[in-house]
Amino acid sequence: MSDTVLAGVGVQRGETAVLRDVTLAITGRTTAVIGENGSGKSTLIRILGGLTSASTGTVRVLGLDPARDIRGLRRRVAVVFSNPDAQIVMPTVEEDVAFSLRPDRLPPAERDRRVAQALTRFGLAGIARRPSHELSGGQKQLLALCGAFVREPELVIADEPTAYLDARNARQVADHLLAPGTHRLVMATHDLALAARCESAVLMHDGQVATVGRPAEVIARYEASLRC
């Protein structure tokens, strides 16, 4: 049984129901969430990341209720957004990665070791002291990933992580997100080739779950709906 489930979840914004009666169990190690703009993908992702509260229904992420244990959720879940500029908080690359470890209050030597290890893993060691905002778009998104992965999260939630990137950088970011490891991934994306690389997929339509299954089947159904 999955430890990450939504049961009867609804999100209301004023008069508009952004999510309606969403019941879903995240089972694969990597899950893609696809669908049109305004279908509820980002809201679903924000609920899993503890950034939006459900108006109705119950949510469990890694067995935790985000409404009751947000600190526990933050320790175990990392979130990556589409706009890398908004994710960079500190002026240099290494400081920004170290910023993610701030809540853990690690001894400086341990913190520096983990930062160096993460920078090497994401190919940023050579630019560790560069000002973050002088990086290219691809490097900025790698930095955002590095800041997320340095905390060794059990679950990574990503909202259109390749949206601002060219093909080469998008592939590099996708390779890191999908790399074998201990983390699980739930990712909203418009990139169907990227969704096809996941173990399972969810199709959202009009605030509801339309289909869940293998990516090839879910993508085929999505493409068929686009032709109607």
Partner 1 sequence: MLMLYVPGDGLWHRMPAAPKLVLLLAAVLGISLLPATWATAAASAAALVLAYALGGLGLRELWRQILAIRWLLALVLLSQLVLLGPEDAVANTARAAAAIALSAIVSLTTPTGVLLAALEHALRPLALIRIDPERAALVLAVAMNAIPVLGKLARDVREAQRARGGPASLRLFAVPFLVAALKYADELGDALAARGV
Q: Which is nearer to partner 1, 84 or 215 (CB)?
A: 84
Check residue 88 for interaction with partner 1 (CB under 8 A): yes
- Using CB under 8 A as the binding rule, the residues of this chain from 99 to 118 that contact partner 1 are 99-100, 102-103
Check residue 83 for interaction with partner 1 (CB under 8 A): yes
Check residue 87 for interaction with partner 1 (CB under 8 A): yes
Give the separation between CA 169 and CA 123, rounded to whole angstroms: 12
- Please pick, from the candidates 21, 69, 95, 154, the single residue that binds partner 1 as defined by CB under 8 A: 95
Query: Encoding tokens for residue 175?
Result: 């390779």
Per the DSSP assignment, residues forming a β-bridge with 92 are: 131
Check residue 56 for interaction with partner 1 (CB under 8 A): no
Q: Which is nearer to partner 1, 90 or 210 (CB)?
A: 90
CA pseudo-torsion sign 83, 86, 91, 92 = negative
Query: Encoding tokens for residue 166?
Result: 């060219």
Q: Which is nearer to partner 1, 189 or 211 (CB)?
A: 189
- Please pick, from the candidates 13, 55, 63, 91, the single residue that binds partner 1 as defined by CB under 8 A: 91
Minimum distance of partner 1 from residue 129's CB (angstroms): 5
- Please pick, from the candidates 23, 92, 208, 225, the single residue that binds partner 1 as defined by CB under 8 A: 92
Give the separation between CA 85 and CA 124, rounded to whole angstroms: 17
Per the DSSP assignment, residues forming a β-bridge with 213 are: 201
Give the separation between CA 2 and CA 64, rounded to whole angstroms: 12
- Using CB under 8 A as the binding rule, the residues of this chain from 33 to 52 that contact partner 1 are 46, 49-51
Check residue 75 for interaction with partner 1 (CB under 8 A): yes
Measured from the Cβ of residue 8, the count of other Cβ atoms closer than 10 Å reads 12
Provide the 8-state DSSP code for 127. Answer: G
Minimum distance of partner 1 from residue 87's CB (angstroms): 4
Check residue 85 for interaction with partner 1 (CB under 8 A): yes
For 159, phi and psi rounded to 5 degrees?
Answer: -110, 100
Q: How do 184-188 and 30-35 pair as beta strands?
A: parallel
Minimum distance of partner 1 from residue 141's CB (angstroms): 13
Task: Tokens 């002026």: give the residue.
Answer: 91
Q: How do 30-35 and 200-205 pair as beta strands?
A: parallel
Q: Binding residues for partner 1, per CB under 8 A?
A: 46, 49-51, 71, 74-75, 78-79, 81, 83, 85-92, 95, 98-100, 102-103, 129-133, 147
